[in-house]
């Protein structure tokens, strides 16, 4: 059975879950396919990445 494309809500949930666990290949591919089509979900993914890098730098800064 063919699963329909992910919704924006499902995609953003996967982006956030990917911070805590490694997503299976099928979920990663479905998420990337949706992001190729949806500009808003691409933007959300970039924002999450930015926050992840900023918090890592902040942790490093506060430890020094």
**Residue ranges of domains in the chain:** 8-63
Q: CB under 8 Å, gap of 24 or more: what pairs does 7-10 form? A: 7/34, 8/34, 8/38, 8/40, 8/41, 10/34
2-59 pLDDT, tens per residue? 678 999 999 999 999 999 999 999 999 999 999 999 999 999 999 999 999 999 888 8
Predicted confidence at residue 64, as pLDDT, reads 66
Predicted confidence at residue 43, as pLDDT, reads 97
Residue pair 14/31 in contact (Cβ under 8 Å)? The answer is yes
Predicted confidence at residue 7, as pLDDT, reads 95
Q: Any residues with CB less than 8 A from the CB of 10 and at least 6 apart, and which?
A: 34
Q: What pLDDT band is residue 1 in, cutting at 50, 70 and 90?
A: low
């Amino acid at each position: 059975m063919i699963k329909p494309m992910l919704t924006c809500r499902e995609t953003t949930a996967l982006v956030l879950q990917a911070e805590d666990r490694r997503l299976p290949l099928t979920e990663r591919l479905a998420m990337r396919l949706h992001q190729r089509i949806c500009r808003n979900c691409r933007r959300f993914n970039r924002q999450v990445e930015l926050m992840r890098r900023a918090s890592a730098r902040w942790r490093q800064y506060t430890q020094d």
